[in-house]
Amino acid sequence: MTMNMQILGWGSAICILLIFMVVTRTLRKKVPALPRHFPSPLLIICDEDARIRRQALESAAWPGDIRFCKERLGANEDERLCIFVDGSLELFPQWDVVARKNASKGSIVSHGVRRCLRALAFPGTPYPLPRTMDAALQCPDSRLLFGPQDLVVAALSLEEPPSGSVVGKRIALWLNECQLVLGASDDEIAFEPGTSRD
């Protein structure tokens, strides 16, 4: 009797272990591993609009790894990945995965921002839509910048005084003068909602 109980006990333990292994393997497939090229957390600069913050968290693969900060926050040699997203843009699903994957392509990275319908971009789409822009950027789209926090904050300080808007050409000139590299993301992380102009 005791021998049968021991066999049942060992059998139950092995079954529980196998179930645990299958569940953890399934969970790993759904959420990609967090790359550590940039220290955590990922910082996102956006205005105080609660819609943007909610959408950023809902679309992220690692929402627990995201922090929000104000645009004028000073940064001293901060190597965390920082993303500036204009309030007129929306983020693709798993935008944080793509940003971390492409952030090392330059000192500051951007991509051409397309207009597309939210309905086409969101339901069940696991990754961003493929890029249609040229890989070589002459100047970044100033509505979308990502890279180390100190560089992104410095780029955002290059605004035109009368309008208060950051111009991509100024950022491109500044990067060139400082011998920094402007990178182009292989995939889109954000889009402008609306009917396509293409």
Residue-by-residue pLDDT tens, the chain, 198 positions: 565 555 556 666 676 766 666 555 554 445 455 455 677 789 998 766 678 888 899 999 999 999 988 765 555 556 789 999 988 888 998 899 999 999 989 999 998 888 877 656 555 554 555 554 444 567 888 889 999 988 998 898 887 766 656 688 889 889 989 999 999 888 889 988 877 654
CB 57 within 8 A of CB 66: yes
The continuous run of DSSP H or E covering 90 comes out as: strand 90-91
Query: Quick one: pLDDT at residue 123?
Result: 54
Contact 108, 141 (CB under 8 A): no
- Tokens describing residue 9: 């006990």
Distances (CA, A) of 195 to 41, 86, 183, 186: 34, 18, 27, 23
Distance between CA atoms of residues 191 and 117, nearest Å: 9
CB 81 within 8 A of CB 42: yes
Cβ atoms of residues 40 and 80 within 8 Å: yes
| Burial class of 192 by CB neighbour count within 10 A (0 to 12, 13 to 18, 19+) | middle
Which pLDDT belongs to residue 27? 46
pLDDT of residue 179: 92
